[in-house]
Amino acid sequence: MRERTQVLIAGGGPAGATAATLLAQQGIDVVLLERERFPRYHIGESLLPSLLPVLDIIGAREVVEHHGFVRKTGAFYGWGGQEWALRFDDPGRPATHSFQVVRSQFDHLLLQHARHQGADVREESQVRHIALPEGRATTAWWRTREGRDAEIDFTHLIDATGRAGMLGARQLRTRRVHDVFRNVAAWGYWRGAAALPEAPEGAIGVFSLPDHGWLWAIPLHDGTLSVGLVTDKRSFHQAKDEQGSIDAVYHDALARCPLLTGMLQGAQQASALKVESDYSYTSDAFCGPGYYLAGDAACFLDPLLSTGVHLAMYSGLLSAAAIAAVLRGEVDEADARRFYQTTYQNAYARLLVLVSAFYRIHDGRDAYFRQAQALTRRDQQGLRLHEAFLNIITGEEDLHDAQQDPLTPLSPLDSLYEKLRTPLTGHRAQGLGGHGTSQMLSLPTTPDQAAAGLYLSLNPYPTLRPIP
């Protein structure tokens, strides 16, 4: 069986579903092939407020708002001996809240929305290989739900296959793990936990440990609390050898966090632990002739700032806008790819730098705020440190960037790229050190990278337009 479509999307998570929705809404022929049957389990429950404007753009906000997810109105940090709360309802902010979601349900809502908007969504359909004659993606071999092999030709491909990285990681082998962020996460779900005192309603709790790593606590609408431990790989395995099991390491970490211990007093663990490791990585290139890598297929960051779904839906929006503009003949394909590479990679790099700063646990809150201000593109006259930090950790800064002239130099970020290339000593993240980021491209500020003259326009539909 052989078919043809304008756009093929491999993967039905938030990145793939967002792109499929936006393309279908513009009348573009799009087929989405998803390996699994939704709903399916997925980690990553805490969403940033930046997702609300994207949900508005794709027309899915109402269905998410009405589903009953916990409203997340801020975050609470017990970090490096200090405690502070961040609230998202400061005057003038684009979104006063976000959600703590059960990802199986959230992802299913987005995939169903893409189907209702006209995308040809096929579950239990796995893309197995991409043909790249002369370096351009043109054809996919895939396995149907019935177990038959099939082919589909396309003009553009979006690889949204998550950590599996069907094209970038498996075929092109362009993925690079960040050496210093070789961490391990272990998490489970608890029932009967208390709310976090002094925290905003529905807030995520993030707590540093005295020696290695940190913990998260995320309240969910099914009555459970997601509680996870993140620590560097060496410390994790050393503790496991000493204490005898992953469960022992996990429970020992919880016992060393008084704030979390108070929340869990009288609670019961309701699930077995799940474990992931070596999950922070990037790709040498986020796109190429005929293809875009979106969401986790392109890059993933330590979960400290809950950026996974933000980067996924953000890249889904950018890739759909780039492809739509090219198919309509409004921009050159090479320029569109350069825009995507620059904008998506800039968003990832900025968060990478801020997470790196956070791992300098004892620097204190004001140091993180100052780092955030150095990473913002806004006119900094009168910009508060607290506001700069909120702009970045809520994802607002990325949405702002995508609609601005990317030719504007990012001199603070450029200098931080240089710091990131400086190798670290030791195995722990000590701030702005080299953790596999030397392959990140410089910002497109030279004439031969003219795609930097494109910006994201949302009206009447998401597309790319040249700077007047």
Q: How many domains does the chain have?
A: 2
Rounded to an integer, the average pLDDT of 199-212 is 89
pLDDT in tens, 425-434: 222 322 222 2
Which of the listed residues 235, 258, 277 is the one where a domain comes to its end? Answer: 277
> Within this chain, do residues 234 and 331 fall inside the same structural domain, yes or no?
no
Reading the block at residue 313, the tokens are 């839906």
Rounded to an integer, the average pLDDT of 18-40 is 97
> Within this chain, do residues 286 and 389 fall inside the same structural domain, yes or no?
yes
CATH number at residue 460: 3.50.50.60
- Asked, for residue 363, whether it belongs to a domain, the answer is yes
Give the confidence band of 360 by pLDDT, cuts at 50, 70, 90: low
Rounded to an integer, the average pLDDT of 406-419 is 37
- Asked, for residue 248, whether it belongs to a domain, the answer is yes
Say if residue 368's pLDDT is above 70.
no
- Which range (223-227, 325-329, 448-452) has the least confidence? 448-452
Which of the listed residues 250, 277, 304 is the one where a domain comes to its end? Answer: 277
Query: By the 8 A CB rule, do 206 and 365 touch?
Result: no
- Asked, for residue 160, whether it belongs to a domain, the answer is yes
> Within this chain, do residues 367 and 426 fall inside the same structural domain, yes or no?
yes
Give 323: exposed, middle or buried? Use CB within 10 Å, 0-12, 13-18, 19+. Answer: buried
> Within this chain, do residues 19 and 126 fall inside the same structural domain, yes or no?
yes
> Within this chain, do residues 341 and 221 fall inside the same structural domain, yes or no?
no
Rounded to an integer, the average pLDDT of 195-213 is 88
Q: What is the pTM of this model?
A: 0.82
> Within this chain, do residues 268 and 283 fall inside the same structural domain, yes or no?
no
CA-to-CA distance for 42 and 154, rounded, in angstroms?
Answer: 29
CA atoms within 13 A on the CB side of 110: 31
- What pLDDT does 432 receive? 22
> Within this chain, do residues 320 and 260 fall inside the same structural domain, yes or no?
no
Give the confidence band of 414 by pLDDT, cuts at 50, 70, 90: very low
CA-to-CA distance for 147 and 271, rounded, in angstroms?
Answer: 33
CA-to-CA distance for 298 and 286, rounded, in angstroms?
Answer: 6
What's the alpha-carbon Rg for the chain, to the nearest Å? 21
- Asked, for residue 396, whether it belongs to a domain, the answer is yes
Mean pLDDT over all residues of the chain?
80
pLDDT in tens, 70-124: 999 988 988 878 888 888 876 666 678 899 999 999 999 999 999 999 999 999 9
- Asked, for residue 465, whether it belongs to a domain, the answer is yes
- Asked, for residue 52, whether it belongs to a domain, the answer is no
- What pLDDT does 371 receive? 41
> Within this chain, do residues 141 and 270 fall inside the same structural domain, yes or no?
no
Q: What is the percent of the chain with per-residue pLDDT over 90, rounded to a whole number?
A: 56
> Within this chain, do residues 250 and 266 fall inside the same structural domain, yes or no?
yes
Q: What is the percent of the chain with per-residue pLDDT over 70, rounded to a whole number?
A: 77
Say if residue 165's pLDDT is above 80.
yes
End-to-end Cα spacing for the chain: 46
Reading the block at residue 29, the tokens are 């022929």
Give the confidence band of 388 by pLDDT, cuts at 50, 70, 90: very low
Which of the listed residues 277, 305, 331 is the one where a domain comes to its end? Answer: 277
- Asked, for residue 61, whether it belongs to a domain, the answer is no
> Within this chain, do residues 222 and 309 fall inside the same structural domain, yes or no?
no
> Within this chain, do residues 175 and 270 fall inside the same structural domain, yes or no?
no
- Asked, for residue 70, whether it belongs to a domain, the answer is no
- SS3 letters for the chain? CEEEEEEEEECCCHHHHHHHHHHHHCCCCEEEECCCCCCCCCCCCECCCCHHHHHHHHCCHHHHHCCCCEEECEEEEEECCEEEEEECCCCCCCCCCEEECCHHHHHHHHHHHHHHCCCEEECCCEEEEEECHHHCCCEEEEECCCCCEEEEEEEEEEECCHHHCHHHHHHCCCEEECCCCCEEEEEEEEECCCCCCCCCCCCEEEEECCCCCEEEEEECCCCEEEEEEEEEHHHHHHHHHHHCCHHHHHHHHHHCCHHHHHHHCCCEECCCCEEEECCCEEECCCEECCEEECHHHCCECCHHHCCHHHHHHHHHHHHHHHHHHHHCCCCCHHHHHHHHHHHHHHHHHHHHHHHHHHCCHHHCHHHHHHHHHHHCCCCCCCCCHHHHHHHHHCCHHHHHHHCCCCCCCCHHHHHHHHHHCCECCCCCCCCCCECCHHHCCCCCCCHHHHHHHEEEECCCCCEEEECC
Judge if the upstream peptide bond of residue 444 is cis by omega within 30 degrees of 0.
no
> Within this chain, do residues 256 and 288 fall inside the same structural domain, yes or no?
no
Count of beta carbons in the 10 Å neighbourhood of residue 235:
18
Amino acid at 333: E
Structural domain for 235, as ranges: 183-277
pLDDT in tens, 311-355: 899 899 999 999 999 999 999 999 999 999 988 887 787 777 767
Say if residue 366's pLDDT is above 70.
no
CATH number at residue 197: 3.30.9.100
